[in-house]
Amino acid sequence: MSALQTVCLLAVAVAGTATVLTRDPLRQAVASGGLGLSLAVLFLAFGAPDVALSQIVVAGVAVPVMVLLTLAKIRTDERAGARGEGEEQ
């Protein structure tokens, strides 16, 4: 295993741990995007550019966007719910 591959594996381990240890969902979405991109570099280092491309578009674009949209929807729902209760009182 080359030095580059070792560095990539370590980067994935660090990014994965960081994603797990991040508690705020918003920051976690960004951290998991970073994990996805480090995985893409890992796949490239191991000679799988096709998988790396799929990884970039799924983990770097699709997943963070879905998470962010869901968070935005939950937050506006919560805000609307809190205001609704205030009006009733």
**Contact positions vs other proteins (CB under 8 A):** 1, 5, 46-47, 49-50, 52-54, 56-58, 61-62, 65-66, 69-70, 72-73, 76-77, 79-80
Please give the single-letter amino acid code of residue 56: I
> Cα(14)–Cα(81) distance, rounded to whole angstroms?
38
Q: Which is nearer to other proteins, 22 or 68 (CB)?
A: 68
The Cα-based distances of 79 to 28, 31, 59 in angstroms read 21, 26, 29
Classified as helix, coil or strand, 18 is helix
Give me the least distance between CB of 27 and other proteins, in Å please. Answer: 18
Give me the least distance between CB of 31 and other proteins, in Å please. Answer: 20
